[in-house]
Amino acid sequence: MRTLEEKVIERVGENTPINIDIRLISATHQDLHDLISAGRFRHDLMYRINSIIIHTPPLREKKDDIPLLVTHHLKKISITNSKDIRGMSSPALEVLESFNWPGNVRQLTNALEYASITCKTDTIDVSDLPDYVFDRNSSGINEQQLEKDNIQEALVMFKGNRTLAAKHLGISRVTLWKRIKDYNIKV
């Protein structure tokens, strides 16, 4: 905390302060406001690192990026594995676009690596994809629709009062605000 505030460090065993010029970049997939409310993250640290926030949506919210990511990663995988993979069939791409991707781009890259190793031609087909991408329960569509419906019901129940709706749903007001924005819910 002192280093972030004063931009000074002291080496262990020394009394001479050393000025530093740093920029701290931090990342998380968790809602820090929720963690602060739960007492699991220091609020004073939050306000020291909270100068510029860049929200990067998960891959499941950016399905249009999947074809571009597939093309990019297949080129890299082809070079790494010395195997000429020219592309992916349309049905295989549709399977990838319908998957929820809880592991985001890393998981997509691993699925492409698996498919490039198992494919017998220069084009990845549905049969080359790993089994977990066919898990329809992981599509996230039903879960997202259920969450959207719950938020809408809570907002109606509490006549648009976001504070009460958030408490009812067991989430922070910030999380509720993000979900309202993400799901384009009219209040």
pLDDT band at 117 (very low <50, low <70, confident <90, very high): very high
Instruction: State the CATH class of domain 59-138.
Output: mainly alpha
* β-bridge mates for residue 18, sequence order: 9
The one-letter code for the residue type at 24 is L
Q: What is the domain partition of the chain in residue ranges? A: 2-49, 59-138, 141-182
The DSSP secondary-structure symbol of 60 reads: G
- Residues 45-61 as b/e (b if ≥16 CB within 10 A, e otherwise) read eeeeeeeeeeeeeebbe
- Say how many Å lie between the first and final Cα of the chain, rounded: 39
- CATH level 3 topology of 141-182: Arc Repressor Mutant, subunit A (1.10.10)
* β-bridge mates for residue 123, sequence order: 87
Note the pTM of the prediction, 2 decimals.
0.56
pLDDT at 64 over 90: yes
Looking at residue 109, its pLDDT comes to 95
pLDDT, one tens digit per residue, over 125-163 is 999 999 989 875 544 445 677 788 889 888 988 889 999
Looking at residue 139, its pLDDT comes to 44
Two tokens, residue 2: 């002192």
